[in-house]
Structure 1
């Protein structure tokens, strides 16, 4: 790819485990990385790691005893969709959505959708 000089930085999670990496490359006409450039990049490494770790996909939250349809409703609740939006998106009657929401709240042991979102998002 025409790159002669490379520098790698490992990305670590809060516990210090390597979870990824970044490779910086430059063409030969730019020369090797200078010590001051390396120092700046080393200083930025914790920030880059933090941003990267916060942006990676996390496992989807799940309640164990949800039916497949409740699971679809659950994931839409977590992104803040209203009952009406869920009904339209899933081609369901509004009373059916409300029944699913009540069942999800019961299974999650949460009094309302705000508490549900706070727990699982």
Structure 2
């Protein structure tokens, strides 16, 4: 990376450690599907996820235990400054429980590409 321009060329992801991304918009699409828009560190940052790859997202289930699950963003690296996930939330899904309670301003731990 170039100093003072984090994530611009190489992407914001780290395959070894989780990084936190802020939820800036949550849009309910149906009774159990929502679109989550997460901000990248700068308006010109790219996620850095090669096509066909996915990210690992970490959250807490209803018992406050860590859960990690892979997801594929619905955005591309041509969408700079943010990435989006469209999530179908299942009643018994452990990671679904995390997304169900996420509010704008919350953070999601992400690592990848995977």
Same-fold status (TM-score > 0.5): no
TM-score (norm 1): 0.26
Q: Kindly indicate which of the two structures has a greater share of residues assigned to strand.
A: 2
Larger Rg: 1
TM-score (ref. length: structure 2): 0.27
- Structure having the larger proportion of residues in helix: 1
Choose between structure 1 and 2 for higher RCO, CA contacts under 8 A separated by at least 6 residues.
2
